[in-house]
Every structure is written in C-alpha cells, then in structure tokens.
Structure 1
Amino acid sequence: MAIIHHTTLKPTKLELLATWLPTRPWYVGTGAPELTKAGGFRLDDPEGEVGIEFMVAADGEGVAYLVPLTYRGAPLPGAEHALIGTMEHGVLGKRWAYDGTHDPVLVAELFALVEGRAQAQAQSVDSTPDHEITRSCTSTGDLRAHGPAVDDETGTELPAQDGTTLRIHRRLGLPDAPPPGAVGHVSGHWTAPDGSRVRGLFAELR
C-alpha cells in the first residue's frame, strides 16, 4: 500500500494543473482556471515506486476534469511530452508529475482496475479501499496497453492488446452506468460546486 504523506508541495498540484490544463484539447475554459480538488482516488504501484492518483479538479465555471497523475522520484525516460511539472515534496524531495495516461505504470494498473485485479484506494487515507469506485468488465481479451494514449476534444483513448479501447472521459458529467456497447467501465464520485455528492462515468471500455 502507498503511504500518503500529509506535507507541503511547492508548487501545489492544483497550481501545476492550472498552467497545464489550458494546453489540453479537452479543456473548455479561457485562460488559467481557478481549480479546487473535488474528488478522485488512488491506485497502488505494485513496485511501490510511483504515486498514482486520479484527481477530479473543478474549475470556477462548474466543469469537473478527470486528471490521471503519476508522481516519480526521477524523470520518466521518453515522456518529456507528458511532464506536467516538478514539485518540492516536504518529505520526498523533488517529484516529477506526469499526465498518467502516458505513464506505463498507471496505464497497467488502470486496466487492472477495469478487470478487477486492482482495488481503488481512498485519495487521502492510507490503506483504505474506496468502495465507491465501481467497475465492470465482460471482455475476456488481453487488457494490456497497445500503443500510445491519444487525446481528442473530450477525452483520452488507450488502445489495448485485444483490440478494445479504454476511453477516459476528461470532462465529467455522463451517468455512471456503463453506456450501450461498452464491455467495461469505471465510475466514481466527486463534489459538485453546491456541495452535493455526484457520480459519473470516468472511463469506458469498447
């Protein structure tokens, strides 16, 4: 299980994302947003080296973005295009933050989550499963990454070895049930601007 250190980060994750989000094709705001953390969950790296977080970041206009992130103690070779920025961690020192859809550790564990081989963990509490993150999978193929992640105007697609594609919804708001034609999904929860708890579809496998 990952150990969550409650300490300082300079700059903060939200400060890094406020600069990075406007460079994404699925961002719909104008200029740098004022972000708040609205929810999310974590996954464990089996090797215990990489931090894996799925953050829901809400802007001031009511849009909630799903941002898969990885945190590393050294640069990820060949992933310069996916670097969001670096932070100084109060316990661990310098950390490199990446768009996790381009990090093989996160991608492998996300496919494992869809298949039921990995358990979603609470975002801010050690060793605590998040049972509000739901998933399903009826595919019997080989759910491993097959090619790079591809962004478009609404999300990110991760091709799998078996010919299916896992689509990550970057702008949240779809109902949390698997859509027609999907052979797998991940749904989760976050906090709306009015303080209510809402659920929606995070990813679907087709």
Structure 2
Amino acid sequence: MSVIHHTTLVPTKVELLTGWLPKQPWYAARADGPDLARVGGFRLDDPADAVGLEFMAVADGPTTYFVPLSYRGAPLDGADDALLGTAEHGVLGRRWIYDGSRDPVLVAQLVALIQGDAEPQAQRESNTPDPTVSAHPATAGPLTVSGFETVDTASGTELRVATGGGTLTVRLNRVLSAAPADESVPGVVATWHRADGSPVRASYATASYQAA
C-alpha cells in the first residue's frame, strides 16, 4: 500500500504544475497567470512498487483541474514530451514527474480502478484506503491493457486503451465540475474542496467499452 514520505520536494509539485498547466490545450488562461492550490485527490498503488501514482485536483482561481501525475526514479523511455520536470525528494532523491495520462503504469492502474481491481488510497496518509473514491466498471470482469493512445483536446483528455478483447475509452475530465456527479456512470468519482472547505463530489473520469 502507498507510503507517503512527509518530507521536502524541490521544486514542489505546484511549482512544476504552474509552468506546465498553461501549455495544455484544455487550460483556461488567466490574465494574471496561474495561482494554484491543491484541493483534493487520491493515490493508487503500483503493483511493482516502483512508480508513484497521484490523481490531483488543483484549483486555479474559479477553475479546478484534474491532473494525474506519476513519479519515477528514472526517466520513462519515449516520454520526454510528457515530463513536467525533475525534483529532489528528501528521502527518495531525484524524481522524474510525468503527466500520468501518458504513463503506462498509471493508465493500467486507472483501468484497474474503474474495473474494481485496484483500491484507491488516501492522498496524504500512508497505508490508508480512501473510501470516498467510487468507481463503476464499463464492462464485466478485469481488463488487461495491451496498449493505449492519449489524445488532448480543448475539452479534456481521452485515453483509448486496447485491452485485447476490445477498446476502453476513458475520458479524463480535466476541468472538474462544481455540480454533483452522477455516481452511476461508469468511471471514477472523487471529492475536491472549495475555498470555504465544502466538498464537491465530481466525476474525475468517465469510461465506455467497445468489444472487438
């Protein structure tokens, strides 16, 4: 289960995101530039215990974004365009931090979460499941990821995941709604918090499955 080290990270995740977010096609530019704050999220475990997997909600003024991130101890081959940057971790040393929508470990575990085969973990506590995260499968049974394509548009990010028996399409809702989510829709629902601390149950991702 997830082990959270309460230590330093230089630069911080928010500092890295401040440089990365404005370059994304789904980002709503602000005249005074980004002013980010972490407002929610959760983690997943990597079965090999090698890659950190975090699903973060970040507020930028009136808009809240969903940003999945992966943390690695070495560069991910072929993923230079997905790299937010490197940071020095007080316990683990240098970490390479990636847009998780392009990391095969994160995509595979997100699929497992949607299908009920991965347990969400608390964002800031070690070895603690997060019961506030709910997932609803897009089809019956587990799915094995054999490849995926990531497509960014002005309205969000789409993961087209090959599973052997068909294609699972996962839409990442990069801009999180303040309206209550329909928790019966296949995908992932989790909580983020407004500036006054009140919680919002939002759809972080939706999913649909097409058999081959």
Shorter-normalised TM range: over 0.9
Q: Distance in 1 between matches of 2:149 and 2:33?
A: 27
- Give the TM-score normalised by structure 2: 0.90
Give the superposition deviation at 1:10: 0.7
1:9 alignment partner in structure 2: 9
Q: Distance in 1 between matches of 2:94 and 2:167?
A: 38
- Give the TM-score normalised by structure 1: 0.93
Q: Distance in 2 between matches of 1:14 and 1:54?
A: 13
Please list the CA deviations of residues 144-165 of structure 1 after superposition, one character each: whole Å capped at 9, or x if unmatched: 2543211111211111222231
2:138·2:207 contact (CA, 8 Å) conserved in 1?
no
When residues 205 and 138 of structure 1 are mapped into structure 2, their CA distance, relative to the original with a 3 A threshold, is: closer
- Of 186, 189, 192, 1:187 maps to 189
- Work out whether 1:166 is the aligned partner of 2:170: yes
Please list the CA deviations of residues 123-153 of structure 1 after superposition, one character each: whole Å capped at 9, or x if unmatched: 0001111010001114137452543211111
1:108·1:145 contact (CA, 8 Å) conserved in 2?
no
Give the superposition deviation at 1:177: 1.1
Give the superposition deviation at 1:197: 1.0
Give the structure with the larger strand fraction.
2
Instruction: Give the secondary structure class of the aligned counterpart of 2:113.
Output: helix
Structure 2, gaps ≥5 residues long? none
2:180·2:200 contact (CA, 8 Å) conserved in 1?
no
Question: Cα RMSD (Å) of the superposition?
Answer: 1.6
- Of 148, 169, 175, 2:180 maps to 175
1:82·1:102 contact (CA, 8 Å) conserved in 2?
yes
How many corresponding residue pairs?
202
1:157 is matched by which residue type in structure 2? E
2:47 is matched by which residue type in structure 1? P
Instruction: Give the secondary structure class of the aligned counterpart of 1:7.
Output: coil
Q: Distance in 1 between matches of 2:72 and 2:161?
A: 24
Instruction: Give the secondary structure class of the aligned counterpart of 1:147.
Output: strand
2:42 alignment partner in structure 1: 41
